[in-house]
Structure formats: C-alpha cells, structure tokens
Amino acid sequence: MVLRRLRQAMGAGGPAVETVLADPDCRPGGHLEGRVQLIGGDHPVDVSHVALGLVTRVGVESGDAGYDTTQEFGRAHATGAFRLDPGQRHEVPFRYEVPWETPLTDLYGQHLPGMTMRLRTELEVARAVDQSDLDPVSVHPLPAQERLLAALLRLGFRFSRAGVERGHLYGVHQTLPFYQEIEFLPAPRYAGAINQLAVTFVTDPQQMRVLLEVDRPGNRFIAGGEAFGRLTVDHATADQTDWSAHLDTHLRRSLS
C-alpha cells in the first residue's frame, strides 16, 4: 500500500494527456482551437483543472553575460475540477485566446530562425505530479505587421534573425514581461551607414507601437524614440500608407 501511494505521488500509473489542435497556425489576438484528450491511469484522480499557455524561449541579460530560458505566458483554464476514473476517456474542447503581444514565428510561410513557440497543456492533479503536453504552433503576422515588414523587404533589407528579450521597453505599455526583436541586415542603399536594423511590435486590439533601432558603425545606437521615431499604427488604417516611402524617409532623415 505504501509503495502504491509512493508510485502515485511520483506520477506512475497516472492519467495521460494529449492535445489535438484543429489548426496550429494563428495570429496575435486570434485563437487556437482543439481538444484535450485524457485517459485515466490505474487509479482514480481528482483533477483540479486543465490549463493552457504558450511557451517561448526568452533571452535574459545577467551582468556581462546572458542566458536563455523558457517562459510561459497567456495562461488560461480550459476546465474546472472533475473526477477521472481508471481507464476513463475524457475530452475537453477549448478555444484559446492568443495574446496580442505574442511574438511572431513565421513570415511568408518561412520560419523565423531563433524563434520557438509551443502550446502547453497542463493537467493539475491533486496530490500527484502534474501531467502536461507540448505542441508546436506557428504565429503569423497581423496584416498591419505584415505591411511594415514587407516594406522593409521592398527597400532591400534582408531578414537576419529574431529573438525574445525579457524586460520592458521604456515609455511603452506592455502586458507581457518580454518583447520580440526582428533583426534585418541593411539594404544596399544604406550600406556603410547601418550595420543592423531591429524591429519590435507591441500590439493591442486597436493599434500597434512599432519601435525601430538602428545599429550604426562604431556601435552607436539610434534608439526608436530619438532619430528614427516610434510609430503608432492603427490596424484599421494601416493599408492607407505607403510604408516603403514612409520608412525610407525616416531612415534617411535619421542617418543625415
């Protein structure tokens, strides 16, 4: 009896959990739908809840060094408490709301190097080890985000990499404890004047703040709030601007 209780406490013979997504592709502010399939183990358990959350890799600065860690965000419960008997099959349908500030992982059907995103399903069981499942998801840009990124590509910038950094941006309201930087190599027309361009989106249901940082030769950074500016773009009117011309004007003005 003692051995059996110990095995249960360690998760042995516990329930199995598997998440089936209807579609792994989504956008910030959109949703993921699917169902969580549960199969009872060799003993009855009291499930406290089934929770969902996105998990991504986040860079953390620490003194002169840094390290990567994983961070969950956007946690939400799919169900409340229920009893799961041995061998019982139980299915929980869900509609998970993707946070507006969720980092992008894909652009024009191509995965952004440096990015990972998973949907974590957690089955919390009373007095036992929690069971979980991880499923890859792809986060595509919103139309307004895509227009700005496409404008940079038309100007001749080349995508380099993307990453997520822990922290808060000065003067910008964030709901998540991190932000994404999408980095580009300079277009030929800016050769010698720019080493790298980094783009950050902070998005909400009405608009997005766009922060751009230019790395110039000699490691002189032009912050988004200074020469290049912080752009505020409404989702509803983003298609009314020639973003290639707009961004080119701001870049040339800052570099002069």
Q: Hey, what are 61's tokens?
A: 């600065």
78-87 mean pLDDT:
93
If one compares 202 and 68, the residue with the highest pLDDT of the two is 202
- 251's enclosing H/E stretch is helix 243-255
Cβ 69 vs Cβ 57: under 8 Å: yes
Neighbours of 134 (CB within 10 A): 11
Out of 147-151, 161-165, 170-174, least confident range: 170-174
- pTM of the predicted model, to two decimals? 0.88
Task: Please tell me the predicted confidence (pLDDT) of residue 217.
Answer: 74
Neighbours of 122 (CB within 10 A): 22
pLDDT-derived band at 134 (thresholds 50, 70, 90) equals: very high
Phi, psi of 23 (to 5 degrees): -155, 120
**Dihedral (Cα; 224, 230, 236, 242), 10-degree rounding:** -70
Q: Hey, what are 170's tokens?
A: 């000065």
pLDDT digits (tens, 9 = 90+) for 84-124: 999 999 999 999 999 999 999 999 888 999 899 999 999 98
* Domains of the chain, start order: 2-139 (2.60.40.640), 143-255 (no CATH)
> Is the pLDDT score of 10 beyond 60?
no
Task: Please tell me the predicted confidence (pLDDT) of residue 108.
Answer: 86
